Amino acid sequence: EAGVAQSPRYKIIEKRQSVAFWCNPISGHATLYWYQQILGQGPKLLIQFQNNGVVDDSQLPKDRFSAERLKGVDSTLKIQPAKLEDSAVYLCASTPGGEGEQYFGPGTRLTVT
Amino acid sequence: GDSVTQMEGPVTLSEEAFLTINCTYTATGYPSLFWYVQYPGEGLQLLLKATKADDKGSNKGFEATYRKETTSFHLEKGSVQVSDSAVYFCAPNYNQGGKLIFGQGTELSVKP
């Protein structure tokens, strides 16, 4: 069974530029999560989708971050414009029905200069 | 709000030493409790879990018991190996299907 796929694996941009990350969850998994992991910290949830609906986006900085999961399968997370403090690893995870083990992708390491 | 506190790292041990990584969580409701591990260069993966009080999760020689009275979920292993070197995260799940609240992580380094 294929795992959670993410791309790109690495991205370097200048502040005020925009960037997008892509995630393809495990086939059949209804729930998808985006986490931000700043160096030396644990991951923090940004947004949770159940199929193509948003369940929790309370910690998403909506003035610059957006995410979508239009067909209830893959998802895109965008940052526009980026700030230096957005430098982090962005992790995508999925579960079949929202409970139990979350399966994580390899992450996208973003560096904002 | 909901939170979790982990023992600070890095922790450096010799091979075959006993390991304990402390984890305590805020007592809001009855969360499920998870330990995730991140090996060098790899993604996060589930190590073990416990879903109710007094449950013991175990995997790969690691164990943790859900202690409701002390709101703790300490990770233990009787004899660590070099291959256990990784970052360990404690993570309660408070709303049974939603987000995990991760601790700051504890880096473990095991020397031969």
Q: Tell me the mean pLDDT in the region A53-59.
A: 92
pLDDT at A49 over 70: yes
Are A102 and A32 spatial neighbours (Cβ–Cβ below 8 Å)? no
CA neighbor of A23 nearest in space, from A84, A88, A97, A78:
A78
Are B91 and B101 spatial neighbours (Cβ–Cβ below 8 Å)? yes
Average pLDDT, chain A: 93
Q: State the pLDDT confidence band at B96, using cuts at 50, 70 and 90.
A: low
Residue with tokens 């998802």, as numbered in its chain: A75
Give the model's pLDDT for residue A99.
66
| Model pLDDT for residues B6-48, shown as the tens digit of each residue | 988 899 999 999 999 999 998 777 889 999 999 988 889 999 9
| Model pLDDT for residues B39-86, shown as the tens digit of each residue | 988 889 999 999 999 999 999 999 999 999 999 999 999 999 999 999
Between CA B45 and CA B34 the distance in angstroms is: 10
| Model pLDDT for residues A61-93, shown as the tens digit of each residue | 999 999 999 888 999 999 999 999 999 999 999
- Note whether A56 contacts B: Cβ–Cβ < 8 A: yes
Q: Is the dihedral of CA A81, A84, A89, A94 positive or negative?
A: negative
| Model pLDDT for residues A24-39, shown as the tens digit of each residue | 999 999 999 999 999 9
Chain B residues with beta carbon closer than 8 angstroms to that of A99: 32, 96-97
Q: Shortest CB distance from B98 goes to which of A40, A56, A106?
A: A56
- How many contacts (CB atoms, under 8 Å) link A and B? 49
B44-50 CB contacts, 8 Å cutoff, 24+ apart = B44/A43, B44/A91, B44/A93, B44/A104, B44/B89, B45/A104, B46/A101, B46/A102, B47/B75, B47/B88, B49/A100, B49/A101
Distance from A18 to chain B by nearest Cα, in Å?
25
